[in-house]
Amino acid sequence: MKLLKSVLLAAVAAVALVVPAKASAQIRFGVKVGTEVNKMKFSKDVLKTENRAGFTGGLMLEGTVPVVGIGFDLSAMYVHRVNSAVTDAALNMDSYRKRDYIEIPLNLKWKIGIPVISRIICPYIFTGPDFAFLCSKKAISNAYKNKSVDISWNFGLGVQLINHLQIGASYGLGLTGAIETLTSYEGQKIDGKNNYWTITAAWLF
């Protein structure tokens, strides 16, 4: 509970930074799609089948304060996540490796404006909490089950093109375990935290 409270406070603080300027903020909506990868390398290999670990898609809301470029982005995403690192034969492999979530990431975002060309190309960085709510089954086996809520923290960067297309990459650092060992089970314990790279493309209107 202490961790959850800390994350929620951080989320509130992130929003509070942009609320005073909301009257002058530019608000935009958009759609976002992407894929999660196990090994992040800046090459064509990143999209090979063995590296892909799921997909995501949903809606995005962005608010940016003009000139300074600081703002937020809030998304509601469906996520199909696959953990390819599972080796425990005691688990029900399909139930453990494949999980579905409704994910709510809230990021503090800074667009690094470059004079003259910022409407054509504009880099940005972002960070913030990510709340994922399980919408697939909880039971895995007689020993393990998926947790209903998975919390992580995102660190990312990207580039905005022609003022509408945003292409970004982020690392999600798991803060809570996504897998719970049942109290009656005395066998192998597992570290069920989700740590993952995500590549997304968003179009803002």
Question: Cα separation of 61 and 72, whole Å?
Answer: 8
What confidence score (pLDDT) does residue 58 get? 98
What confidence score (pLDDT) does residue 8 get? 55
**CA-based angle 2:155:178, to the nearest 5?**
50
Q: Which residues contact residue 74 at a Cβ distance below 8 angstroms, ignoring those fewer than 6 apart? A: 60, 61, 62, 104, 105, 106, 107
What confidence score (pLDDT) does residue 89 get? 46
Q: What CA–CA distances, in Å, run from 125 to 14, 71, 72, 154?
A: 14, 11, 11, 11
Q: Which of 89, 183, 101, 196 is nearest to 144 (CA)?
A: 183
Amino acid at 47: L
Q: Which of 108, 155, 148, 144 is nearest to 132 (CA)?
A: 148
CB 18, CB 65: distance < 8 Å:
yes
Beta strands in 112-164 (DSSP E): 121-134, 144-146, 149-161
Q: Which of 175, 128, 122 is nearest to 151 (CA)?
A: 175
What confidence score (pLDDT) does residue 85 get? 44
What confidence score (pLDDT) does residue 86 get? 45
One pLDDT digit (tens) per residue for the chain, 205 residues: 555 555 556 555 555 554 454 446 799 999 999 998 765 554 455 445 444 578 999 999 999 998 889 999 999 999 998 764 444 444 545 545 678 999 999 999 999 988 889 889 999 999 999 999 999 877 666 667 788 899 999 999 999 999 999 999 999 998 988 777 766 556 566 656 778 899 999 999 9
What is the set of domains in the chain, with CATH numbers?
A: 2-204 (2.40.160.20)
Tokens 């393990």, residue located? 144
Q: What CA–CA distances, in Å, run from 205 to 20, 45, 101, 152, 158?
A: 24, 31, 26, 28, 18
What confidence score (pLDDT) does residue 46 get? 45
